[in-house]
Chains A and B, each alone.
Chain A
Amino acid sequence: MTTPTTPARVRRQLPTSPWLFAAPGLLVTGAFVLYPFVSTLINSFTDRRTLLPGRFVGLANFRELLHDDMFWTGLRNSTLYIVGVVPALVVLPLLLALLVQKNIPGITFFRAAFYTPVVASIVVVGLIWVWLLDERGLINSLLESVGIGRVGFLSDQWLLLLSAMTVTVWKGLGYYMIIYLAALANVPRELHEAAAVDGAGPVRRFLSVTVPAVRSTMVLVAALSSVAAFKVFSEVYLMAGPSGGPAGEDTTLVMLVQRTGTGLTGRVGYASALSVVVFAVTVVLMLLVLRADRREEP
């Protein structure tokens, strides 16, 4: 390492092209992310099936979408998911972060424990909740013992969707809690002290000091959680079954993509058109949230 560079030494070096460093990453990303992205766009204009090459069919897939009841069901459920999940995921993790923020004895244990649902696989989480919400499961036993009676959480179309949303919120709490913790660490303590001197109570201080200070983080959480909510798959798939519950009424858009496009008879072209709708809505959501952020910036 201490010998100065000589021409002879340079010639003995390993190949040093920067592209060699970037190559594995670029290859994988190009072949398995960007190429599939482009081919999704192209396939959406064809009638390609898994085993058959496609023909160009113009906008036929998109026209068919407009008359496909299942598409509208999927779009409705994915949209409802945003409405149900995002407000809870913006507010509850913030409260949780405030609860675990102060360094009191044992707090690292609580932080880690609250994060456990994030670590667990969605399949494990889904199956645990299927068991909890079962007709004969723990929650129904408890409801019966307090005289409410058993509730068909997994058999009623709307309750099933609500149950899946609850699971999504439950699994996401810890993740967004950590994001809020990072944001709260940057809130100057003096602001709270000044507000306290001015006689502001805890609720007032929360609304006039904490919320404005973490507002941009709330927007970030809203953006992340709304995009994730719109693309929901696993929770509903596990709780409602592959066909999407009673008469498929709980199908979400991504479930429909999976169901339509896979298997040996999969309609790749049509599923690609559905995917394009997923992209489009995702992009619009991101832009909406970011624009809302900019407009409110002082």
Chain B
Amino acid sequence: MSLLEKVRPGRPAAPPGEPRPTGRRGGSIRAGDLVWRYLLLLAVLALTVGPFLWQLSTSLKGPTEDIYSSTPTFLPSHPTLHNYARVADTIPVWDYVLNSLKVATANVVTNCVGSALAGYALARLHYRGRRAATLVFVLAMLVPVEGIVIAQFTTMRELGLNNTLVGVVLPGAVGAMNVLLMRNAFRKLPYEIEEAAYVDGADVWQRFLRIALPAAKGTLAVVAIFAFMGAWDDFLWPLIVLSDPSKFTLTIGLNYLHGTFAGDERLVAAGTVIAVAPLIALFACLQRYFFRGVGEGAVKG
């Protein structure tokens, strides 16, 4: 902790080479601090990413390798993709991937369309009941999902939608949080632009589609990414609503794989790598949006 604090925390945009106020310790400490900082960063890196790499390594180890050796080996001596093929023989893993992909894609589409429309209505349109409509979404955001899953389950039964992928998608189809994020994004746009369009004769759909939406596309991207991730990662709700193994999403399928074949860690490891690799790839490409979304969403949402 004290090591960590040796480097004076400054704003990220601090101008480089600015003279320090006291020069108490001179410039050489600064270099030393930097070394400590990198050592700490590497230690945390090992703790956060290490477990994923260990899982990857396990998934690549061949059947003759001892994965339980008392002196752990980090690199497989005979790397093989055999375990990935065996996962597919054991559970219909590619069907599960497809199910997850369907659910996640549907979730992205419904959330983007639904929250953009509703957000625009809350931010820019005038009508009686606008405050009440806003309140609906605020209240919904405060309701903990864990407390209503049983009632959601019975609602799905009443609609005849339990044990379907539609049933998996529906409860989160338009997240209240996403609606409020879009509302905030639309509120930030200057009114003058829309007024100009209005004077030029643009109707509300044209103003929404051609002016407001393009200006809020950063927030829309955040909504899309989080909708995809949320659906791909969700566990509790699909576990409750899906009972037929052929309808399983990947997370539920993995839990099933773990339960059924707990004996062979290589298989479970290969399954988890299949589940996490696409997300890490997506995240690596879009990480700028992630950080913006988390910062904005969590602090202001």
For residue B86, CB closer than 8 A to chain A, the reply is no
Size of the B side of the interface (Cβ < 8 Å), in residues, is: 113
Contact assessment for B72 and A119 in the assembled complex, using a CB-CB cutoff below 8 Å: no
- DSSP class of B's interface residues: helix, strand, loop or mixed? helix
**Minimum CB distance partner of A181 in chain B:** B295
Residue interface mask A128-160, B partner, CB < 8 A = 1: 111110101010011011000000000000000
A123–B143 Cα distance when bound, in Å, is 23
Q: Does A115 contact B (CB under 8 A)?
A: yes
A72 to B289 alpha-carbon distance, docked (Å): 43
Q: Are the C-beta atoms of B174 and A24 separated by less than 8 Å? A: yes
Nearest-neighbor residue (CB-CB) of B252 within chain A: A123
**B85 lies within 8 A of chain A by Cβ:** no
Q: Render B1-37 as a binary contact track against A, CB cut-off 8 A, 1 for contact.
A: 1101111111111100000011010000000001001
Q: Are A116 and B143 in contact (CB under 8 A)?
A: no
Q: A25-B174, A112-B287, A138-B54 are in contact. Are A262 and B133 (CB under 8 A)?
A: no
How does the 8 Å CB contact mask read for A168-191 relative to B, with 1 for contact and 0 for none? 001001110011011111010100
Q: Give the CA-CA distance A35 to B155 in the complex, in Å.
A: 9
- Check if B4 sits within 8 Å of A121, measured CB to CB: no
Q: Are B139 and A34 in contact (CB under 8 A)?
A: yes
Taking CB atoms, residues of chain A closer than 8 Å to B70 are 141, 144-145
Stretch from A15-23, A80-88, A288-296 contacting the other chain: A15-23
C-alpha gap A76/B190 in the complex (Å)? 52
Task: Give complex CA distance A211, B268 in Å.
Answer: 43
User: Which one of A36, A183, A258 lies within 8 Å of B151 (CB-CB)?
Assistant: A36
Contact of A115 with B150 in the complex, beta carbons under 8 Å? no
A43 at interface by CB-CB < 8 Å:
yes
Which residues on A are within 8 Å of B, measured CB to CB? 1-6, 9-10, 13-14, 16-19, 21-26, 28-37, 39-40, 43, 48, 50, 95-96, 98-104, 108, 110-117, 119-124, 127-132, 134, 136, 138, 141-142, 144-145, 170, 173-175, 178-179, 181-185, 187, 189, 192-193, 196-197, 202-203, 205-206, 210, 217, 220, 224, 227, 231, 233-234, 238, 254, 257-258, 261-262, 266, 268, 271-272, 275-276, 278-279, 282
4 shortest interchain CB distances as A-B pairs: A25-B118, A202-B5, A36-B151, A21-B121
Residues of B within 8 A of A (CB): 1-2, 4-14, 21-22, 24, 34, 37-38, 40-41, 44-45, 47-49, 51-52, 54-55, 58, 68-72, 110, 113-115, 117-118, 120-122, 125-127, 129-130, 133, 136-137, 139-140, 143-144, 146-155, 157, 170-171, 173-174, 176, 179, 197, 199-206, 208, 229, 232-233, 235-236, 239-240, 251, 254-255, 258, 265, 268-269, 271-272, 275-276, 279-280, 283-284, 287, 290-291, 294-295, 298-299
A-B contact pairs, 11 of them (CB 8 A): A2-B200, A21-B125, A32-B171, A99-B37, A104-B34, A110-B45, A117-B48, A131-B268, A233-B236, A238-B255, A266-B153
